[in-house]
C-alpha cells in the first residue's frame, strides 16, 4: 500500500482516530473482507447504543420527527444516511458499494441531505465537478449547525488530489471523514475511527493499490440492471485527463470473480449488466492468466438468464477485430458502442496522446458498421484543447458529419493541474472555445435528431426501466441501442423486456405501444 505526501500526518490522525486504548483494532482480523465485516458489526454496535440513548432521552423524536422515527424503528435502523454521487458510472457503482456498507451498519438511506451521515462521492474530471462539491459543502455546513451530531464524509476522485485535501482542512473543518478511490471498502473501519474519537477529521488517502477487495455488501439502485466493474484505473495518460492520477494504474478483476458476481446478480433479478472500466478494451492484460475483453464478453454472453450486456468505455486504439467479431456473434451484447473521439484533428489527437489519427478512427467506424450495420454509435468530444485552431476544429466537425453519431457528449476543455496539457502554452481563449462549442452542439443535436428516428414503425425489444416522469400510465424504457422509448404500461412491467412498436420519432426518443 503506497501513501501520498500527506502520509505522516494522515497516519497520525488515523491512528489517533482509532483511539489508542481501544481493543477494537487489536482484535480486528487482518484479512479482507473479514476485517470489514468485523468493523461493520462494531460500527453497528456503536450506532445502536447512540440511537437507544437518543430514544430514552427524547432527543431521537426531536431529531427525526414521528414519521421518520417510526420508519427507523420498523426497519430496525439506527439512523439515516444520504449518498450524493458526482461523475461517471464508475462512481455510481462505488456509491452502491458504499450504500451497501452503510445499510449493514444500520443506517437507512434517504434522499435528503438532512441525515445522520452525508457522503459525497466526488468527481474531478472537469473543474465544474469540483465547484459543485464546494458549493454544496456550504449548504451542508448550514445543515450541520442545526444537527451537530451529523457526520459528513467525502470520498472519490477529487479526494485523491493533495491540493483538495489542503483546502478542505483549511476551509471546511466541519468535514468528519475523507477517503479516496482506493480504499472505499474500508468505510466501516473509518466510521469506527471517527465515532470512537468523536472529534476532528479522519483522513485516509492511498496513492495507489494492487488490492481488489471482493464480496462486500452492495445496495443496488435498480433491481433489474447493474454495473459490474471489470477493471479499475487507467494507464493511458491522455494529456488532458486526470483520471489516471486519481484512479491509479490499471488492474483487472479475475474473470471468475466477474462471472460469479454476474451470476449472483442474475439470480437476484438482474437482466442487464454494464461492464465497467476506463478502457475495457485493454481488459485482462495484467492478469496471471491473460485474457482479452472479447473472450470475457463471450463468457458473459453464456450466462443463463442474463438478457443484455453493455460496456463502457472503449478506447479506439485498443478495439480489436476479435472484439467486433464477439459483439457481432454475442446476441446479448447491445447494439450500442460508445467510442470517444475527443478530437477529429490528427495533430490534436497526437498531442492528446490518444494514439490514433482521424483516418484510423474513421476506418474503425467503417469496419464496425460493416460488421454490425444496425449499431448505434455515441462519443465524447473535447472543444478547446490547447493549440486547437479553427482548422483543427473543422476536422472535428467533419468527423461528426461523417460518422453521424446517435448522440455525443461535448465538453469544454478544462485545465487539470498536474496533467501535461495544463502546462501547454497556447490555451485557447474562452470566447473562441464557447463559440466553437455552440456550433458543435448544434451540429451534434441536429444529426442526432435525424439518425435517432431510423427505427420508426419497427417493433423493438425495450427494457422497461421506470414510470414515465411526464405522463401517468406510461413507462420509460431503453432499446438495445440505448435509445429511450415511452409507452403505455404499468409498474408491474418494470425490469421486463417487452416488445414495443415505435409509433412516433421525437428526436432523441420515441413514443410507442406494446404489441
* Measured distance CA(370)–CA(142) in Å, rounded: 57
Nearest approach, Cβ of residue 409 and ligand F3S (Å): 11
Number of residues that bind ligand SF4 (CB under 6 A): 10
Centroid of chain to Cα 7: 27
Ranges within 282-321 binding ligand SF4 (CB under 6 A) = 315
- 315 sits near ligand SAH (criterion: CB under 6 A): yes
Question: Between 16 and 237, whose beta carbon lies closer to ligand F3S?
Answer: 237
Sites of contact with ligand F3S (CB under 6 A): 87-88, 90-91, 123-125, 157, 243, 246-247
* Measured distance CA(510)–CA(515) in Å, rounded: 15
Question: Residue 345 binds what, of ligand SAH, ligand F3S, ligand SF4, none (CB under 5 to 8 Å, by partner type)?
Answer: none
Q: Contacts by 294-299 with C-beta closer than 8 Å and gap 24+?
A: 294/320, 294/322, 294/323, 294/325, 294/326, 295/255, 295/326, 296/230, 296/255, 296/258, 297/323, 297/326, 297/327, 297/330, 297/333, 298/326, 298/329, 298/330, 299/255, 299/259
Question: Between 105 and 276, whose beta carbon lies closer to ligand SAH?
Answer: 276
Question: Between 42 and 279, whose beta carbon lies closer to ligand SF4?
Answer: 279
Question: Residue 91 binds what, of ligand SF4, ligand F3S, ligand SAH, none (CB under 5 to 8 Å, by partner type)?
Answer: ligand F3S
- 47 sits near ligand SAH (criterion: CB under 6 A): no
- 246 sits near ligand SF4 (criterion: CB under 6 A): no
Q: C-alpha cell of 466? A: 421506470
Nearest approach, Cβ of residue 354 and ligand SAH (Å): 9
Q: Is 104 helix (H, G, I), strand (E, B) or coil?
A: helix
Question: Residue 87 binds what, of ligand SAH, ligand F3S, ligand SF4, none (CB under 5 to 8 Å, by partner type)?
Answer: ligand F3S
Nearest approach, Cβ of residue 89 and ligand F3S (Å): 8
Kindly indicate which of the ranges 159-167, 214-222, 303-311, 413-421 contains the residues binding ligand SAH, using the contact rule CB under 6 A: 413-421
Does residue 408 contact residue 400 with C-beta atoms inside 8 Å?
yes
CB-side neighbour CA atoms (13 Å) of 325: 6
Kindly indicate which of the ranges 2-10, 27-35, 233-241, 251-259 contains the residues binding ligand SF4, using the contact rule CB under 6 A: 233-241
Of 161, 216, 230, 231, the closest CA to residue 185 belongs to 216
* Measured distance CA(180)–CA(163) in Å, rounded: 13
Identify the residue among 295, 380, 398, 465 touching ligand SAH (CB under 6 A): 380
- 236 sits near ligand SF4 (criterion: CB under 6 A): yes
Question: Between 89 and 482, whose beta carbon lies closer to ligand F3S?
Answer: 89
- 165 sits near ligand SF4 (criterion: CB under 6 A): no
Question: Residue 413 binds what, of ligand F3S, ligand SF4, ligand SAH, none (CB under 5 to 8 Å, by partner type)?
Answer: ligand SAH
Ranges within 96-155 binding ligand SAH (CB under 6 A) = 125-126
CB proximity list for 16: less than 8 A, separation 6 or greater: 197, 200
Kindly indicate which of the ranges 78-86, 247-255, 359-367, 406-414 contains the residues binding ligand SAH, using the contact rule CB under 6 A: 406-414
Nearest residue to ligand F3S, scored by beta-carbon proximity: 87
Q: C-alpha cell of 512? A: 410507442
Identify the residue among 51, 77, 240, 245 touching ligand SAH (CB under 6 A): 240
Question: Residue 296 binds what, of ligand SAH, ligand SF4, ligand F3S, none (CB under 5 to 8 Å, by partner type)?
Answer: none
Order of strands across the sheet that contains 376-383: 336-338, 376-383, 407-412
Identify the residue among 98, 192, 231, 234 touching ligand SF4 (CB under 6 A): 234
Of 400, 359, 395, 397, the closest CA to residue 378 belongs to 400
Nearest approach, Cβ of residue 129 and ligand F3S (Å): 6
Of 431, 425, 379, 419, the closest CA to residue 125 belongs to 419
- 348 sits near ligand SAH (criterion: CB under 6 A): no
Does residue 399 contact residue 341 with C-beta atoms inside 8 Å?
yes
Q: Contacts by 254-260 with C-beta closer than 8 Å and gap 24+?
A: 254/287, 255/284, 255/287, 255/291, 255/295, 255/296, 255/299, 257/214, 258/228, 258/230, 258/296, 258/300, 259/299, 259/300, 259/303
Q: C-alpha cell of 484? A: 429511450
Work out the burial of residue 76: count CB atoms within 10 Å of its CB; fewer than 13 is exposed, 13-18 middle, 19 or more buried. exposed
- 416 sits near ligand SAH (criterion: CB under 6 A): yes
Ranges within 263-282 binding ligand SF4 (CB under 6 A) = 278-279
- 33 sits near ligand SF4 (criterion: CB under 6 A): no
Question: Residue 327 binds what, of ligand F3S, ligand SF4, ligand SAH, none (CB under 5 to 8 Å, by partner type)?
Answer: none
Residue with cell 501513501: 3
Residue 290 Cα distances to 11, 191, 300, angstroms:
36, 37, 16
Does residue 95 contact residue 88 with C-beta atoms inside 8 Å?
no
- 316 sits near ligand SAH (criterion: CB under 6 A): no
Helices 187-197 and 34-57, packing angle to 10 deg: 40
Question: Residue 291 binds what, of ligand SAH, ligand F3S, ligand SF4, none (CB under 5 to 8 Å, by partner type)?
Answer: none
* Measured distance CA(302)–CA(296) in Å, rounded: 10
Q: C-alpha cell of 5? A: 505526501
Question: Residue 126 binds what, of ligand SF4, ligand F3S, ligand SAH, none (CB under 5 to 8 Å, by partner type)?
Answer: ligand SAH
- 238 sits near ligand SF4 (criterion: CB under 6 A): yes
Q: By CB under 6 A, name the binding residues for ligand SAH.
A: 125-126, 240-241, 243, 278-279, 313, 315, 340, 342, 380, 382, 411, 413-414, 416
Positions that interact with ligand SF4 (CB under 6 A) = 234, 236-238, 241, 243-244, 278-279, 315
Amino acid at each position: 500500500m503506497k501513501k501520498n505526501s500527506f502520509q505522516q500526518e494522515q497516519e497520525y490522525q488515523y491512528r489517533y482516530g482509532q483511539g489508542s486504548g481501544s481493543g477494537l483494532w487489536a482484535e480486528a482480523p487482518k484479512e479482507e473482507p473479514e476485517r470489514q465485516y468485523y468493523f461493520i458489526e462494531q460500527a453497528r454496535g456503536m450506532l445502536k447504543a447512540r440511537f437507544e440513548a437518543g430514544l430514552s432521552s427524547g432527543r431521537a423524536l426531536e431529531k427525526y420527527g414521528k414519521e421518520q422515527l417510526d420508519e427507523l424503528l420498523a426497519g430496525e435502523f439506527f439512523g439515516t444516511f444520504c449518498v450524493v454521487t458526482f461523475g461517471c458510472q464508475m462512481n455510481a457503482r462505488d456509491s452502491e458499494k458504499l450504500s451497501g456498507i452503510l445499510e449493514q451498519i444500520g443506517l437507512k438511506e434517504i434522499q435528503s441531505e438532512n441525515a445522520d451521515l452525508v457522503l459525497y462521492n466526488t468527481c474531478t474530471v472537469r473543474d465544474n465537478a469540483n465547484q459543485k462539491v464546494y458549493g454544496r459543502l456550504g449548504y451542508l455546513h448550514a445543515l450541520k449547525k442545526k444537527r451537530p451530531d451529523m457526520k459528513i464524509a467525502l470520498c472519490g476522485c477529487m479526494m485523491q488530489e493533495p491540493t483538495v485535501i489542503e483546502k478542505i482542512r483549511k476551509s471546511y473543518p466541519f468535514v468528519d471523514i475523507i477517503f479516496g478511490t482506493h480504499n472505499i471498502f474500508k468505510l466501516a473501519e473509518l466510521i469506527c475511527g471517527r465515532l470512537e474519537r468523536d472529534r476532528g477529521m479522519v483522513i485516509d488517502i492511498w496513492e495507489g493499490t494492487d488490492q481488489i477487495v471482493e464480496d462486500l455488501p452492495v445496495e443496488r439502485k435498480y433491481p433489474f440492471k447493474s454495473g459490474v466493474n471489470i477493471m479499475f484505473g487507467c494507464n493511458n495518460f491522455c494529456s488532458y485527463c486526470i483520471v489516471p492520477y486519481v484512479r491509479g494504474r490499471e488492474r483487472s478483476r479475475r474473470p471468475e470473480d466477474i462471472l460469479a458476481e454476474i451470476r449472483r446478480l442474475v439470480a437476484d433479478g438482474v437482466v442487464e449488466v454494464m461492464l465497467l472500466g476506463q478502457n475495457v478494451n485493454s481488459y485482462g492484460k495484467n492478469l496471471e492468466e491473460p485474457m482479452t475483453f472479447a473472450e470475457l464478453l463471450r463468457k458473459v454472453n453464456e450466462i443463463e438468464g442474463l438478457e443484455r450486456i453493455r460496456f463502457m468505455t472503449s478506447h479506439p486504439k485498443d478495439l480489436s477485430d476479435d472484439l467486433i467479431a464477439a459483439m457481432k456473434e454475442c446476441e446479448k451484447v447491445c447494439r450500442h458502442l460508445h467510442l470517444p473521439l475527443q478530437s477529429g484533428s490528427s495533430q490534436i489527437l497526437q498531442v492528446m496522446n490518444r494514439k490514433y489519427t482521424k483516418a484510423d478512427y474513421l476506418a474503425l467506424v467503417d469496419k464496425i458498421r460493416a460488421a454490425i450495420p444496425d449499431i448505434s454509435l455515441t462519443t465524447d468530444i473535447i472543444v478547446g484543447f490547447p493549440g486547437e485552431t479553427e482548422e483543427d476544429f473543422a476536422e472535428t466537425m467533419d468527423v461528426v458529419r461523417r460518422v453521424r453519431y446517435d448522440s455525443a457528449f461535448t465538453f469544454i476543455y478544462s485545465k487539470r493541474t498536474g496533467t501535461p496539457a495544463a502546462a501547454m502554452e497556447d490555451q485557447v481563449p474562452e470566447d473562441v472555445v464557447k463559440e466553437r462549442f455552440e456550433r458543435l452542439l448544434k451540429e451534434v443535436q441536429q444529426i442526432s435528431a435525424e439518425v435517432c428516428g431510423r427505427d420508426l414503425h419497427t417493433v423493438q425489444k425495450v427494457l422497461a426501466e421506470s414510470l414515465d416522469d411526464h405522463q401517468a400510465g406510461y413507462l420509460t424504457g431503453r432499446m438495445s441501442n440505448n435509445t429511450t422509448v415511452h409507452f403505455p404500461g404499468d409498474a408491474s412491467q418494470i425490469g421486463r423486456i417487452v416488445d414495443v412498436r415505435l409509433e412516433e420519432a421525437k428526436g432523441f426518443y420515441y413514443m410507442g405501444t406494446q404489441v
